[in-house]
Amino acid sequence: MAAPTAANQGHTSSADRPLRATPRSLPFPFSLYQTSVGKKWVMAITGLMLIGFVVVHMIGNLKLYLGVIELDGVSDYDVDHYAHALRELLVPLVPHGVVLWIMRLGLIAGFGLHIHSAYSLSRSNMVANQAYESKRDWLAANFASRSMRYTGVIVLLYLIFHLADLTWGRADWFEHGEVQSNVVNSLSNPLVALIYILANIAVAIHIYHGMYSMFQSLGINNPSYNWLRQGAARSLAIIILIGNISFPLAVLANIIEFDPSLITAGY
């Protein structure tokens, strides 16, 4: 580094002052995760996993509309048959509930990595960036791309609320494994329904920019299908939004109901 002289008025080259020290190099593939490009890769792959989960979760929830059906001599709500079947996956090869737990562990790991990479990248971006004093005129950045940090935090808070609400049970009406009754009990409170609706708008906005970014981050780019990316991301986000906010609305409108007299003793 050049010593400050009267001539350069104490100015040294900013290339002599890295914002980030090069970390001690870990073995592959961890070395990849030490770089921002690698973290973006992890974010894209875990994001794809989480979008897959959201889509499957929504399709599963559509069973709420199917009402009561009889399966193996048991009359129960279709969504409860489905919840039961999820726990029975690959039984008797593996014990009851194990496959579901393996999927859950995968999701927890995916969430953890997605959040950690987002946090770490946001931190380094904040260090690298200096705000303009005058007003910026954005040309390409949109609301979704600029609010990822915030929609991400909202999704996390919503996830915790949703787990407390319908997995762990936050109130006395909660009965483990009784999906239809729990959903109806929870969402018939208009305030809770509103939380679900608002949170799912954030989920859709987050998924829109995530889906749009994913292929770019993974380096999957082909000019012949790039025109599709925006439309595909928008369609997916809209489908997820409509599907997910339909549930609270349908409960409030008594389209999705729970009537204990219709079911025989459950599982």
Partner 1 sequence: MSKQLNLTLSIWRQENAASRGRFETYQAKGIPDDASFLEMLDIVNEGLISEGELPIEFPHDCREGICGTCGVMIDGRAHGPELGTATCQLHMRKYNDGDTIVIEPWRATAFPVIRDLVVDRSPLDAIIQAGGYISAPTGTAPDANEIAVPKEVADSAMDAAACIGCGACVAACPNSAAQLFTSAKLWHLNSLPQGQPERFKRAEAMVETMEQFFGSCTNHGECTEACPKEIPQDFIAYLNRDFVKSKRVNRTMASRS
Contact status: 29 vs partner 1 (CB under 8 A): yes
Specify whether the CB–CB gap between 200 and 241 falls below 8 A.
yes
Q: How many residues does this entry show for the chain?
A: 267
Nearest distance from residue 187's CB to partner 1, in Å?
Answer: 34
- Taking the least distance from each CB to partner 1, the nearer of 29 and 231 is 29
Specify whether the CB–CB gap between 181 and 258 falls below 8 A.
yes
With the CA atoms of 56, 62, 67 and 73 taken in that order, what torsion angle do they form, in degrees rounded to the nearest 10?
Answer: -20
The tally of CA atoms less than 13 A away on the side-chain side of residue 28 is 0
Contact status: 92 vs partner 1 (CB under 8 A): no
Contact status: 220 vs partner 1 (CB under 8 A): yes
Contact status: 148 vs partner 1 (CB under 8 A): yes
* List of residues 6+ apart from 28 with CB closer than 8 A: none
Nearest to 125 by CA among 13, 19, 196: 19
Among 14, 224, 254, 261, binds partner 1 (CB under 8 A): 14
Nearest distance from residue 114's CB to partner 1, in Å?
Answer: 14
- Taking the least distance from each CB to partner 1, the nearer of 37 and 265 is 37
Contact status: 2 vs partner 1 (CB under 8 A): no
Q: Which residues bind partner 1 (CB under 8 A)?
A: 9-11, 13-15, 18-22, 28-29, 31-32, 35-41, 121, 124-125, 127-141, 145-146, 148, 209, 212-213, 215-221, 223, 226
